[in-house]
Amino acid sequence: MMNRRTLLLAGLAMPALSRHGFAADPIRIGMTQPLTGAVAASGNYVANGAKIAVEVLNAAGGVLGRPIELVLEDNKSNPREAVAAAEKLVLRDKVPVLIGAWSSTFTLAIMPKLIEYKVPMIVETSSAARITTSGNPWVFRIAPTSEMEAVAFAELLGKFDPPIRKIDFLSVNNDFGRGAAEKFSAALGAKGIRIGRTETMTPEATDLAAQITALRQSDGDTVFLTTGVEQQTLALRQAVEQRLGKRIVTTGGSFPDQLLANPLPPGNTSYHILFYAPWFPERAPHPQIAERYTAEWNKKGWEFAGLTEGFRGYDAVLTVAVAIKLAGKPEAEAIRAALWKVKLAGVNGDISFAKEGPAGQESGQNKPNVSVVTLSEGKTGLL
């Protein structure tokens, strides 16, 4: 077990330990995110977090005496485009390491290419279990799986009043949404909570009235909502319209920030499982790192609530930088080997990788932290 103080020092001092002076070419880090399309809000936030991390690293002298360059490709919220973006980054831009690709569906689409081109990828957001259990040794995930999220949430059940007794699901119809419904059913079912209906929606759907009307027929008291920011916002608004009358808990770490400026009517409180709550940086596992990240973000004038997802990009770039430093050279195989030795303090908490998946083909999985934020009348609170 690593000493907490050592970790913190490593995270804070890592950029400063690098040599100054950028005589050599930059080290390129490839990143693909959904910058446009159905889940563009989240993708842009993650990309912004990564850009900040690159600036922080370069201001402190870069890595191995070379500046870091982030090569960002839009996957257009589409798995085919995600594959094209990854191939472009590896083949044309010659990046030795990737970060991506937000949605589990996009990440799963890219994964065979990692084996083909022998390039490691830091998975910053995707939560489907298969990503780290399918036997892809080039995958290192810093995001929690849906199962980790569900198990962590199950520990907080006592904080809900009235208590959660029966749950339903409204999930986007892809690996992310279906995976979350399955894992939350298992984790909460094990705690004696009854499982009701599961309604699904396509990622592009805007009218969710049929789904919400159907959920109204269930006698469940809580609906778990799993999708991107845009559909979260739509679902929460349309739940008011359809008088759903149930507690809504969003999963996956996204936050419907537009509801801060355009709040739901009084009496509607939603719950959001997040991996960083920027309203309360002092409650983060490493407050200094969280505050530095938050301050850099705010300096840019970006939307404050984007911090909830931006940290993924920030932590992912820091992780890659530590791995390159440990590898001693920006080469794919060396970085992959070094990723197993990475230990650093990130915004979400301590980052290191444990082995998951079939022997000899293991992927790396970090164990992140989880918190639940409430949103009521445009104001946030920590559960």
Partner 1 sequence: MDQALQHLVNGTVLGGTYALLGIGLTLVFGVMRVVNFTHGELYAFGAYMTYAGVSLLGLNFYLSLALATLLGMALGASIEWLLLRPMRKADIDSVMLVMIGAALVLQNGEMWAWGGVAKLIPNPFPGTPLVVGPVSVMPLRLFVLVVSAALLLGFWLLLDRTRIGMAMRATFQDPETAALMGVRIGWVNTATFAIGSGLAAAAGALLGPVFMVSPTMGDLVGLKAFAIVILGGLGSLPGATIGGFALGFVEEFAGGFVSTEYRDAFGFLLIILILAVRPQGLVPAKERIG
6 versus 298: smaller Cβ distance to partner 1? 298
Q: Which helix (H) or strand (E) holds 375?
A: strand 371-376
Q: Which residues contact 210 (CB under 8 A, 6 or more apart)?
A: none
- Tell me phi and psi for residue 226, to 5 degrees: -125, 110
State yes or no: residue 218 binds partner 1 (CB under 8 A).
no
216 binds partner 1 (CB under 8 A): yes
User: Which one, 126 or 233, has the nearer CB to partner 1?
Assistant: 233
Site string for partner 1, 160-199 (x = CB under 8 A): -------------x-------------------------x
Binding residue for partner 1, selected from 43, 62, 137, 364, defined by CB under 8 A? 43
Taking CB under 8 A as the rule, which mask of x and - marks residues 222-261 in contact with partner 1? -------xx--xx-----xxxx--------------x--x
Smaller CB separation from partner 1, 88 or 343: 88
Contacts of 188 (CB under 8 A, 6+ apart): 150, 153, 154, 157, 164, 167, 195
Size of the site for partner 1 (CB under 8 A): 40
Q: Which is nearer to partner 1, 223 or 318 (CB)?
A: 223
For position 219 contacting partner 1 by CB under 8 A, the verdict is no
Q: What whole-number distance in Å separates Cα of residue 40 and Cα of residue 213?
A: 27
Q: Could you tell me the smallest distance in angstroms from the CB atom of residue 155 to partner 1?
A: 31
Residue 192, amino acid: G
Select from 93, 116, 204, 219 the one that contacts partner 1 (CB under 8 A). 204
Among 2, 59, 190, 209, binds partner 1 (CB under 8 A): 209
Q: Which of 3, 6, 262, 361 binds partner 1 (CB under 8 A)?
A: 262
Classify burial at 269, counting beta carbons within 10 Å of its beta carbon; exposed 0-12, middle 13-18, buried 19 or more. Answer: middle
Candidates 10, 29, 31, 41; binder of partner 1 (CB under 8 A) is 41
Q: String of b and e for 175-188 (b: at least 16 CB within 10 Å)?
A: bbbbbbbbbbbebb
29 binds partner 1 (CB under 8 A): no
Our CB check for partner 1 shows the closer of 207 and 219 to be 207
Q: Which of 144/203 has CB closer to partner 1? A: 203
Instruction: State how far the Cα of 248 lies from the Cα of 268, in Å rounded to an integer.
Output: 9
377 in contact with partner 1 (CB under 8 A): no
CA distances from 272 to 155, 205, 346 (A): 15, 21, 21
Stretch that binds partner 1, among 30-38, 114-122, 142-150, 157-165 (CB under 8 A): 30-38
Residue of 38, 63, 321, 332 that binds partner 1 (CB under 8 A): 38
Question: Based on CB atoms, which residue is closest to partner 1, 13 or 210?
Answer: 210
In the complex, the smallest distance separating the C-beta of residue 160 from partner 1, rounded to whole angstroms, is: 25
Residue tagged 């990692």 (tokens): 114
- For residues 108 and 126, give the distance between their C-alpha atoms in angstroms, rounded to a whole number: 9
195: three-class secondary structure by DSSP: strand
- 14/264 with CB nearer partner 1: 264
Q: At what angle do helices 307-327 and 287-300 cross, to 10 degrees?
A: 110
Backbone angles phi, psi at 341, to 5 degrees: -100, -5
How many angstroms separate the CA atoms of 207 and 175, rounded? Answer: 21
Strands in 206-325 per DSSP E: 222-226, 247-250, 269-274
* Shortest distance (Å) from residue 178 CB to partner 1: 10
Largest CA distance in the chain: 66
Looking at the Cβ atoms of 303 and 331, the one nearer to partner 1 is: 303
The residue among 138 and 302 lying less far from partner 1, judged by its C-beta, is 302
Task: For residues 218 and 253, give the distance between their C-alpha atoms in angstroms, rounded to a whole number.
Answer: 26
Extract the tokens encoding 194.
């009854």
Q: Is 269 in the site for partner 1 (CB under 8 A)?
A: no
| Tokens 């359809």, located at residue | 242
Phi, psi of 356 (to 5 degrees): -135, 150
User: Rule CB under 8 A: which residues touch partner 1?
Assistant: 34-38, 40-41, 43-44, 74, 77, 173, 199-202, 204-207, 209-211, 213-214, 216-217, 229-230, 233-234, 240-243, 258, 261-262, 264-265
